Structure 1
Amino acid sequence: MFVDCLDIYAQAAFATIRNPNLYMTLLRRFLSMALAASLITMAGAQEAKIKIATVDMQELFKQYYRTNEAQKQINLERARIQKDNNERLGRIRELETNLGNLKKQIEDPSINDSKKQTLFKDWQMQQQEGIALDRERREFLQRRNQALNEKMVQRMKGILEEIRKLVEEQAKTDNYDYVFDKSGLSTSQVPFLLYTKDATDITAGLLKDLNKDAPAESAPAEEEAQAPEAGE
Protein backbone atom coordinates (compact mmCIF):
# COMPACT_ATOMS: atom_id res chain seq x y z
CA MET A 1 0.00 0.00 0.00
CA PHE A 2 2.85 2.39 0.79
CA VAL A 3 4.24 1.94 -2.70
CA ASP A 4 0.90 3.11 -4.12
CA CYS A 5 1.04 6.09 -1.75
CA LEU A 6 4.49 7.03 -3.01
CA ASP A 7 3.18 7.07 -6.58
CA ILE A 8 0.43 9.51 -5.57
CA TYR A 9 2.84 11.67 -3.54
CA ALA A 10 5.36 11.80 -6.39
CA GLN A 11 2.66 12.94 -8.78
CA ALA A 12 1.56 15.51 -6.23
CA ALA A 13 5.10 16.81 -5.86
CA PHE A 14 5.48 17.24 -9.59
CA ALA A 15 2.05 18.86 -9.81
CA THR A 16 3.51 21.97 -8.17
CA ILE A 17 4.91 22.73 -11.57
CA ARG A 18 1.53 22.96 -13.20
CA ASN A 19 -1.19 23.30 -10.56
CA PRO A 20 -0.57 24.05 -6.87
CA ASN A 21 -4.16 23.17 -5.95
CA LEU A 22 -3.84 19.78 -7.60
CA TYR A 23 -0.59 19.27 -5.72
CA MET A 24 -2.27 19.84 -2.37
CA THR A 25 -5.15 17.54 -3.27
CA LEU A 26 -2.86 14.68 -4.28
CA LEU A 27 -0.55 15.30 -1.37
CA ARG A 28 -3.39 15.11 1.12
CA ARG A 29 -4.60 11.90 -0.53
CA PHE A 30 -1.17 10.37 -0.05
CA LEU A 31 -0.93 11.49 3.55
CA SER A 32 -4.43 10.25 4.27
CA MET A 33 -3.68 6.82 2.81
CA ALA A 34 -0.40 6.50 4.69
CA LEU A 35 -1.92 7.58 7.99
CA ALA A 36 -4.98 5.37 7.55
CA ALA A 37 -2.72 2.38 7.01
CA SER A 38 -0.82 3.21 10.21
CA LEU A 39 -4.02 3.62 12.22
CA ILE A 40 -5.36 0.27 11.04
CA THR A 41 -2.13 -1.41 12.07
CA MET A 42 -2.12 0.37 15.40
CA ALA A 43 -5.69 -0.68 16.12
CA GLY A 44 -4.65 -4.30 16.02
CA ALA A 45 -1.71 -3.87 18.40
CA GLN A 46 -1.98 -5.63 21.75
CA GLU A 47 0.85 -3.93 23.63
CA ALA A 48 -0.20 -2.07 26.75
CA LYS A 49 2.33 0.73 26.16
CA ILE A 50 3.68 1.94 22.85
CA LYS A 51 6.30 4.49 21.86
CA ILE A 52 5.07 7.07 19.33
CA ALA A 53 6.74 9.77 17.24
CA THR A 54 5.43 12.30 14.75
CA VAL A 55 6.99 13.70 11.60
CA ASP A 56 6.03 16.43 9.15
CA MET A 57 6.47 14.78 5.76
CA GLN A 58 5.53 17.93 3.87
CA GLU A 59 8.28 19.86 5.65
CA LEU A 60 10.87 17.16 5.02
CA PHE A 61 10.02 16.98 1.34
CA LYS A 62 9.90 20.75 0.80
CA GLN A 63 13.11 21.50 2.74
CA TYR A 64 15.20 18.59 1.43
CA TYR A 65 17.97 20.04 -0.73
CA ARG A 66 17.50 17.37 -3.40
CA THR A 67 13.89 18.51 -3.81
CA ASN A 68 15.13 22.04 -4.41
CA GLU A 69 17.67 20.78 -6.93
CA ALA A 70 14.93 18.86 -8.72
CA GLN A 71 12.78 21.99 -8.86
CA LYS A 72 15.68 23.96 -10.33
CA GLN A 73 16.13 21.30 -12.98
CA ILE A 74 12.42 21.50 -13.80
CA ASN A 75 12.73 25.26 -14.20
CA LEU A 76 15.68 24.85 -16.55
CA GLU A 77 13.72 22.38 -18.65
CA ARG A 78 10.79 24.78 -18.70
CA ALA A 79 13.05 27.55 -19.95
CA ARG A 80 14.42 25.37 -22.74
CA ILE A 81 10.92 24.37 -23.83
CA GLN A 82 9.81 28.00 -23.74
CA LYS A 83 12.84 29.11 -25.77
CA ASP A 84 12.23 26.47 -28.45
CA ASN A 85 8.54 27.32 -28.53
CA ASN A 86 9.28 31.04 -28.93
CA GLU A 87 11.62 30.36 -31.84
CA ARG A 88 8.96 28.30 -33.58
CA LEU A 89 6.34 30.95 -32.89
CA GLY A 90 8.68 33.58 -34.35
CA ARG A 91 8.77 31.79 -37.70
CA ILE A 92 4.98 31.39 -37.67
CA ARG A 93 4.52 35.10 -36.91
CA GLU A 94 6.75 35.96 -39.88
CA LEU A 95 4.58 33.84 -42.14
CA GLU A 96 1.45 35.52 -40.79
CA THR A 97 2.94 38.92 -41.61
CA ASN A 98 3.83 37.76 -45.14
CA LEU A 99 0.34 36.36 -45.64
CA GLY A 100 -1.15 39.69 -44.63
CA ASN A 101 1.04 41.54 -47.12
CA LEU A 102 0.22 39.09 -49.89
CA LYS A 103 -3.49 39.43 -49.21
CA LYS A 104 -3.28 43.21 -49.55
CA GLN A 105 -1.53 42.83 -52.92
CA ILE A 106 -4.09 40.31 -54.13
CA GLU A 107 -6.88 42.72 -53.22
CA ASP A 108 -5.11 45.67 -54.88
CA PRO A 109 -7.13 46.62 -57.99
CA SER A 110 -4.07 48.11 -59.66
CA ILE A 111 -2.36 44.69 -59.95
CA ASN A 112 -3.19 42.65 -63.04
CA ASP A 113 -4.87 39.22 -62.86
CA SER A 114 -1.77 37.29 -63.94
CA LYS A 115 0.26 38.78 -61.10
CA LYS A 116 -2.59 38.16 -58.67
CA GLN A 117 -2.69 34.48 -59.58
CA THR A 118 1.02 34.20 -58.87
CA LEU A 119 0.58 36.00 -55.57
CA PHE A 120 -2.37 33.78 -54.67
CA LYS A 121 -0.35 30.60 -55.26
CA ASP A 122 2.40 32.03 -53.07
CA TRP A 123 -0.19 32.88 -50.42
CA GLN A 124 -1.56 29.31 -50.48
CA MET A 125 1.92 27.79 -50.13
CA GLN A 126 2.84 29.99 -47.19
CA GLN A 127 -0.52 29.36 -45.54
CA GLN A 128 0.03 25.59 -45.74
CA GLU A 129 3.55 26.03 -44.42
CA GLY A 130 2.23 28.01 -41.47
CA ILE A 131 -0.40 25.36 -40.69
CA ALA A 132 2.24 22.62 -40.82
CA LEU A 133 4.65 24.57 -38.62
CA ASP A 134 2.00 25.27 -36.00
CA ARG A 135 0.93 21.61 -35.94
CA GLU A 136 4.56 20.58 -35.53
CA ARG A 137 4.99 23.13 -32.72
CA ARG A 138 1.98 21.78 -30.82
CA GLU A 139 3.18 18.19 -31.19
CA PHE A 140 6.64 19.25 -30.03
CA LEU A 141 5.19 20.85 -26.88
CA GLN A 142 3.11 17.81 -26.11
CA ARG A 143 6.09 15.46 -26.45
CA ARG A 144 8.46 17.62 -24.42
CA ASN A 145 5.98 18.31 -21.62
CA GLN A 146 5.01 14.65 -21.36
CA ALA A 147 8.65 13.57 -21.24
CA LEU A 148 9.39 16.17 -18.55
CA ASN A 149 6.39 15.05 -16.50
CA GLU A 150 7.42 11.40 -16.58
CA LYS A 151 11.04 12.16 -15.79
CA MET A 152 10.32 14.38 -12.82
CA VAL A 153 7.59 12.19 -11.31
CA GLN A 154 10.11 9.37 -11.18
CA ARG A 155 12.70 11.64 -9.61
CA MET A 156 10.25 12.89 -6.97
CA LYS A 157 9.27 9.31 -6.23
CA GLY A 158 12.92 8.46 -5.64
CA ILE A 159 13.32 11.42 -3.27
CA LEU A 160 10.23 10.37 -1.32
CA GLU A 161 11.55 6.84 -1.04
CA GLU A 162 14.81 8.22 0.44
CA ILE A 163 12.83 10.16 3.03
CA ARG A 164 10.66 7.17 3.86
CA LYS A 165 13.71 4.96 4.41
CA LEU A 166 15.31 7.56 6.66
CA VAL A 167 12.14 7.82 8.75
CA GLU A 168 12.03 4.03 9.03
CA GLU A 169 15.70 3.80 10.04
CA GLN A 170 15.24 6.52 12.67
CA ALA A 171 12.18 4.75 14.04
CA LYS A 172 14.12 1.51 14.38
CA THR A 173 17.13 3.23 15.94
CA ASP A 174 15.00 5.01 18.56
CA ASN A 175 12.73 2.00 19.01
CA TYR A 176 9.49 3.76 18.07
CA ASP A 177 6.45 1.56 17.59
CA TYR A 178 4.69 4.06 15.33
CA VAL A 179 5.62 7.22 13.46
CA PHE A 180 2.69 9.36 12.32
CA ASP A 181 2.74 12.10 9.72
CA LYS A 182 1.28 15.14 11.45
CA SER A 183 0.83 17.00 8.14
CA GLY A 184 -1.82 14.55 6.97
CA LEU A 185 -5.24 16.12 6.33
CA SER A 186 -8.61 14.61 5.63
CA THR A 187 -10.71 15.62 2.63
CA SER A 188 -12.44 18.16 4.88
CA GLN A 189 -9.06 19.77 5.64
CA VAL A 190 -9.07 18.51 9.23
CA PRO A 191 -5.82 16.97 10.53
CA PHE A 192 -6.07 13.21 11.01
CA LEU A 193 -3.73 13.36 13.97
CA LEU A 194 -5.57 15.65 16.40
CA TYR A 195 -3.83 14.47 19.54
CA THR A 196 -1.09 12.04 20.49
CA LYS A 197 -0.01 11.54 24.07
CA ASP A 198 3.73 11.70 24.77
CA ALA A 199 4.64 11.75 21.05
CA THR A 200 8.09 12.99 20.01
CA ASP A 201 8.43 15.15 16.90
CA ILE A 202 11.46 13.87 14.99
CA THR A 203 11.14 16.21 11.99
CA ALA A 204 14.00 18.57 12.88
CA GLY A 205 16.51 15.79 13.40
CA LEU A 206 15.51 14.04 10.19
CA LEU A 207 15.77 17.27 8.23
CA LYS A 208 19.25 17.84 9.59
CA ASP A 209 20.27 14.35 8.46
CA LEU A 210 18.74 14.83 5.03
CA ASN A 211 20.63 18.06 4.41
CA LYS A 212 23.95 17.16 6.02
CA ASP A 213 25.59 16.78 2.59
CA ALA A 214 23.80 19.69 0.94
CA PRO A 215 26.02 21.96 -1.21
CA ALA A 216 26.50 25.45 0.18
CA GLU A 217 24.78 26.98 -2.84
CA SER A 218 21.72 24.78 -2.51
CA ALA A 219 18.59 26.88 -1.89
CA PRO A 220 14.86 26.77 -2.64
CA ALA A 221 14.18 27.25 -6.34
CA GLU A 222 12.57 30.47 -7.51
CA GLU A 223 9.19 30.25 -9.22
CA GLU A 224 9.49 30.71 -12.96
CA ALA A 225 7.13 30.86 -15.90
CA GLN A 226 5.43 27.56 -16.60
CA ALA A 227 6.06 25.62 -19.74
CA PRO A 228 3.45 26.55 -22.39
CA GLU A 229 0.58 24.21 -23.09
CA ALA A 230 0.40 22.54 -26.48
CA GLY A 231 -2.43 24.82 -27.50
CA GLU A 232 -0.59 28.06 -26.79
Structure 2
Amino acid sequence: MIRRLTPFLVAAVLGGTALAQDAKLKIATVDMQQLFKEYYRTEEAQQQVNVERARIQKELNERQTRVQEIEEELKKLRKMMEDPSINDSKKQEIQRDWGMKQNEGIAIDRERREFQQRRTQALNEKMVQRMKGILEEIRKLVEEQAKKEDYDYVFDKSGLSTSQVPFLLYTKDATDITPTLLVDLNKDAPKDGATTPAATSGEGE
Protein backbone atom coordinates (compact mmCIF):
# COMPACT_ATOMS: atom_id res chain seq x y z
CA MET A 1 0.00 0.00 0.00
CA ILE A 2 2.70 2.50 1.00
CA ARG A 3 4.76 1.73 -2.13
CA ARG A 4 1.74 2.23 -4.39
CA LEU A 5 1.17 5.61 -2.81
CA THR A 6 4.83 6.67 -2.85
CA PRO A 7 4.27 9.30 -5.58
CA PHE A 8 1.84 10.94 -3.18
CA LEU A 9 4.61 11.26 -0.62
CA VAL A 10 7.26 12.95 -2.75
CA ALA A 11 8.79 16.08 -1.17
CA ALA A 12 6.45 18.93 -0.37
CA VAL A 13 8.03 22.22 -1.43
CA LEU A 14 6.95 25.22 0.58
CA GLY A 15 7.56 28.92 0.08
CA GLY A 16 7.43 30.74 -3.21
CA THR A 17 9.04 34.15 -2.91
CA ALA A 18 12.47 34.80 -4.36
CA LEU A 19 15.25 34.87 -1.78
CA ALA A 20 18.26 37.12 -1.83
CA GLN A 21 21.36 35.41 -3.15
CA ASP A 22 23.12 35.59 0.19
CA ALA A 23 20.10 34.52 2.27
CA LYS A 24 20.37 31.21 4.10
CA LEU A 25 17.55 28.77 3.37
CA LYS A 26 15.80 27.19 6.30
CA ILE A 27 15.33 23.52 5.41
CA ALA A 28 13.61 20.63 7.19
CA THR A 29 13.24 16.94 6.43
CA VAL A 30 10.43 14.56 7.26
CA ASP A 31 10.03 10.79 7.01
CA MET A 32 6.57 10.43 5.49
CA GLN A 33 6.64 6.64 5.56
CA GLN A 34 7.41 6.64 9.27
CA LEU A 35 4.61 9.10 9.93
CA PHE A 36 2.20 6.98 7.91
CA LYS A 37 3.17 3.71 9.59
CA GLU A 38 3.19 5.08 13.15
CA TYR A 39 0.04 7.20 12.91
CA TYR A 40 -2.59 5.50 15.06
CA ARG A 41 -5.31 6.06 12.46
CA THR A 42 -3.35 3.96 9.95
CA GLU A 43 -3.46 1.00 12.33
CA GLU A 44 -7.17 1.57 12.96
CA ALA A 45 -7.85 1.57 9.24
CA GLN A 46 -5.89 -1.65 8.78
CA GLN A 47 -7.79 -3.34 11.59
CA GLN A 48 -11.11 -2.40 10.02
CA VAL A 49 -9.97 -3.75 6.66
CA ASN A 50 -8.93 -7.02 8.33
CA VAL A 51 -12.39 -7.34 9.90
CA GLU A 52 -14.06 -6.84 6.53
CA ARG A 53 -11.71 -9.30 4.85
CA ALA A 54 -12.54 -11.91 7.48
CA ARG A 55 -16.25 -11.30 6.86
CA ILE A 56 -15.79 -11.77 3.12
CA GLN A 57 -13.80 -14.97 3.67
CA LYS A 58 -16.51 -16.35 5.95
CA GLU A 59 -19.15 -15.83 3.27
CA LEU A 60 -16.87 -17.38 0.66
CA ASN A 61 -16.36 -20.43 2.87
CA GLU A 62 -20.12 -20.85 3.25
CA ARG A 63 -20.57 -20.78 -0.52
CA GLN A 64 -17.69 -23.20 -1.03
CA THR A 65 -19.23 -25.58 1.51
CA ARG A 66 -22.46 -25.62 -0.51
CA VAL A 67 -20.50 -26.37 -3.70
CA GLN A 68 -18.81 -29.31 -1.96
CA GLU A 69 -22.17 -30.61 -0.72
CA ILE A 70 -23.50 -30.59 -4.28
CA GLU A 71 -20.41 -32.44 -5.49
CA GLU A 72 -21.11 -35.18 -2.94
CA GLU A 73 -24.74 -35.38 -4.02
CA LEU A 74 -23.62 -35.71 -7.65
CA LYS A 75 -21.34 -38.61 -6.72
CA LYS A 76 -24.24 -40.43 -5.05
CA LEU A 77 -26.50 -39.88 -8.06
CA ARG A 78 -23.81 -41.16 -10.43
CA LYS A 79 -23.42 -44.33 -8.37
CA MET A 80 -27.17 -44.83 -8.53
CA MET A 81 -27.13 -44.45 -12.32
CA GLU A 82 -24.39 -47.10 -12.51
CA ASP A 83 -26.34 -49.52 -10.30
CA PRO A 84 -27.49 -52.41 -12.54
CA SER A 85 -30.38 -53.21 -10.19
CA ILE A 86 -32.12 -49.90 -10.99
CA ASN A 87 -34.46 -49.99 -14.00
CA ASP A 88 -34.05 -47.68 -17.00
CA SER A 89 -37.04 -45.51 -16.12
CA LYS A 90 -35.61 -44.78 -12.68
CA LYS A 91 -32.15 -44.17 -14.16
CA GLN A 92 -33.56 -41.56 -16.53
CA GLU A 93 -35.18 -39.81 -13.57
CA ILE A 94 -31.90 -39.91 -11.66
CA GLN A 95 -30.07 -38.59 -14.72
CA ARG A 96 -32.43 -35.61 -14.91
CA ASP A 97 -31.83 -34.93 -11.21
CA TRP A 98 -28.09 -35.22 -11.80
CA GLY A 99 -28.21 -32.66 -14.62
CA MET A 100 -30.25 -30.20 -12.53
CA LYS A 101 -27.93 -30.64 -9.57
CA GLN A 102 -24.87 -30.13 -11.76
CA ASN A 103 -26.30 -26.88 -13.16
CA GLU A 104 -27.03 -25.72 -9.62
CA GLY A 105 -23.44 -26.39 -8.58
CA ILE A 106 -22.06 -24.54 -11.60
CA ALA A 107 -24.28 -21.54 -10.88
CA ILE A 108 -23.33 -21.41 -7.20
CA ASP A 109 -19.61 -21.71 -7.97
CA ARG A 110 -19.83 -18.96 -10.59
CA GLU A 111 -21.69 -16.71 -8.15
CA ARG A 112 -19.05 -17.45 -5.50
CA ARG A 113 -16.21 -16.38 -7.81
CA GLU A 114 -18.07 -13.24 -8.91
CA PHE A 115 -18.84 -12.41 -5.27
CA GLN A 116 -15.16 -12.76 -4.34
CA GLN A 117 -14.01 -10.53 -7.19
CA ARG A 118 -16.68 -7.89 -6.54
CA ARG A 119 -16.22 -7.65 -2.80
CA THR A 120 -12.42 -7.80 -2.90
CA GLN A 121 -12.25 -5.05 -5.50
CA ALA A 122 -14.64 -2.86 -3.51
CA LEU A 123 -12.64 -3.39 -0.33
CA ASN A 124 -9.34 -2.60 -2.05
CA GLU A 125 -10.76 0.62 -3.48
CA LYS A 126 -12.12 1.58 -0.08
CA MET A 127 -8.74 0.92 1.55
CA VAL A 128 -6.86 2.99 -1.04
CA GLN A 129 -9.21 5.93 -0.53
CA ARG A 130 -8.88 5.65 3.25
CA MET A 131 -5.09 5.59 3.08
CA LYS A 132 -5.04 8.54 0.70
CA GLY A 133 -7.17 10.47 3.19
CA ILE A 134 -4.72 9.67 5.99
CA LEU A 135 -1.77 10.76 3.84
CA GLU A 136 -3.54 14.02 3.06
CA GLU A 137 -4.00 14.64 6.81
CA ILE A 138 -0.29 14.10 7.34
CA ARG A 139 0.65 16.34 4.41
CA LYS A 140 -1.48 19.18 5.79
CA LEU A 141 0.12 18.80 9.21
CA VAL A 142 3.58 18.95 7.63
CA GLU A 143 2.60 22.11 5.79
CA GLU A 144 1.22 23.71 8.95
CA GLN A 145 4.38 22.88 10.89
CA ALA A 146 6.56 24.24 8.09
CA LYS A 147 4.67 27.52 8.03
CA LYS A 148 4.72 27.74 11.80
CA GLU A 149 8.50 27.26 11.94
CA ASP A 150 9.06 29.38 8.81
CA TYR A 151 10.84 26.69 6.78
CA ASP A 152 11.60 27.46 3.15
CA TYR A 153 11.58 23.82 2.08
CA VAL A 154 10.51 20.51 3.61
CA PHE A 155 11.82 17.36 1.92
CA ASP A 156 10.51 13.82 2.33
CA LYS A 157 13.63 11.81 3.10
CA SER A 158 11.78 8.51 2.63
CA GLY A 159 10.92 9.28 -1.01
CA LEU A 160 12.56 7.02 -3.60
CA SER A 161 13.11 7.47 -7.31
CA THR A 162 12.01 4.87 -9.87
CA SER A 163 15.45 3.27 -9.50
CA GLN A 164 14.85 2.98 -5.71
CA VAL A 165 17.47 5.63 -4.94
CA PRO A 166 16.50 8.20 -2.28
CA PHE A 167 15.58 11.58 -3.73
CA LEU A 168 17.28 13.29 -0.82
CA LEU A 169 20.90 12.17 -0.61
CA TYR A 170 22.32 14.96 1.52
CA THR A 171 21.21 18.11 3.32
CA LYS A 172 23.28 20.49 5.37
CA ASP A 173 21.86 21.84 8.62
CA ALA A 174 18.41 20.40 7.92
CA THR A 175 16.06 19.84 10.85
CA ASP A 176 14.18 16.55 11.05
CA ILE A 177 10.64 17.42 12.15
CA THR A 178 9.38 13.81 12.10
CA PRO A 179 9.44 13.28 15.91
CA THR A 180 7.52 16.50 16.56
CA LEU A 181 4.91 15.59 13.96
CA LEU A 182 4.51 12.08 15.38
CA VAL A 183 3.68 13.50 18.78
CA ASP A 184 1.11 15.81 17.25
CA LEU A 185 -0.44 13.08 15.09
CA ASN A 186 -0.87 10.66 17.97
CA LYS A 187 -1.98 13.09 20.67
CA ASP A 188 -5.57 11.79 20.40
CA ALA A 189 -4.66 8.11 20.08
CA PRO A 190 -6.67 5.65 22.23
CA LYS A 191 -4.98 4.71 25.46
CA ASP A 192 -3.35 1.29 25.75
CA GLY A 193 -5.92 -1.46 25.90
CA ALA A 194 -8.64 0.56 24.24
CA THR A 195 -10.34 -1.21 21.39
CA THR A 196 -10.86 0.24 17.97
CA PRO A 197 -14.47 0.14 16.76
CA ALA A 198 -14.62 -2.38 13.93
CA ALA A 199 -16.48 -1.77 10.73
CA THR A 200 -19.94 -3.27 11.13
CA SER A 201 -21.50 -2.57 7.79
CA GLY A 202 -20.69 -4.91 4.93
CA GLU A 203 -20.13 -3.87 1.37
CA GLY A 204 -23.14 -4.17 -0.85
CA GLU A 205 -23.21 -7.08 -3.24
Q: Does the alignment reach a TM-score above 0.5?
A: yes
Q: CA offsets per residue over residues 13-62 of structure 1, 9 Å max, x none?
A: 4xxxxxxxxxx2x244444xx33x749x89x9544311000000000000
State the partner residue of 1:86: 61
- Aligned residue-pair number: 193
Alignment of 1:146-161 (within 5 A): 146-161=121-136
Deviation at 1:158, TM superposition (A): 1.2
Max Rg structure: 2
User: Relative to structure 2, which stretch is displaced further, 199-208 or 130-139?
Assistant: 130-139
- Distance, in Å, in 2 between the alignment partners of 1:131 and 1:217 is 49
Alignment of 1:65-144 (within 5 A): 65-144=40-119
Q: Aligned pair in 2 of structure 1 residues 201, 71: CA closer, same or farther (>3 Å)?
A: same
TM-score (structure 1 length as normaliser): 0.77
State the partner residue of 1:200: 175
Q: CA offsets per residue over residues 65-104 of structure 1, 9 Å max, x none?
A: 0000000000000000000000011111000010011111
Is the counterpart of residue 167 in structure 1 residue 142 in structure 2?
yes
Deviation at 1:191, TM superposition (A): 0.9
The amino acid across from 1:180 in the alignment is F
Structure 2: runs of 5+ lacking an equivalent: 197-205
- Distance, in Å, in 2 between the alignment partners of 1:217 and 1:80 is 26
**RCO (CA 8 Å, sep 6+): is it higher in 1 or 2?**
2
Identical-pair percentage:
72
- Distance, in Å, in 1 between the alignment partners of 2:18 and 2:80 is 85
The amino acid across from 1:120 in the alignment is Q
Structure 1: runs of 5+ lacking an equivalent: 1-11, 14-23, 222-232
Q: Aligned pair in 2 of structure 1 residues 199, 154: CA closer, same or farther (>3 Å)?
A: same
- Tell me the secondary structure at the aligned position of residue 216 of structure 1: coil
Deviation at 1:153, TM superposition (A): 1.8
CA contact (8 A) 1:28 1:186 kept: no
- Distance, in Å, in 2 between the alignment partners of 1:192 and 1:155 is 26
Q: Could you say which structure has the higher helix fraction?
A: 1
State the partner residue of 1:187: 162
TM-score (structure 2 length as normaliser): 0.86
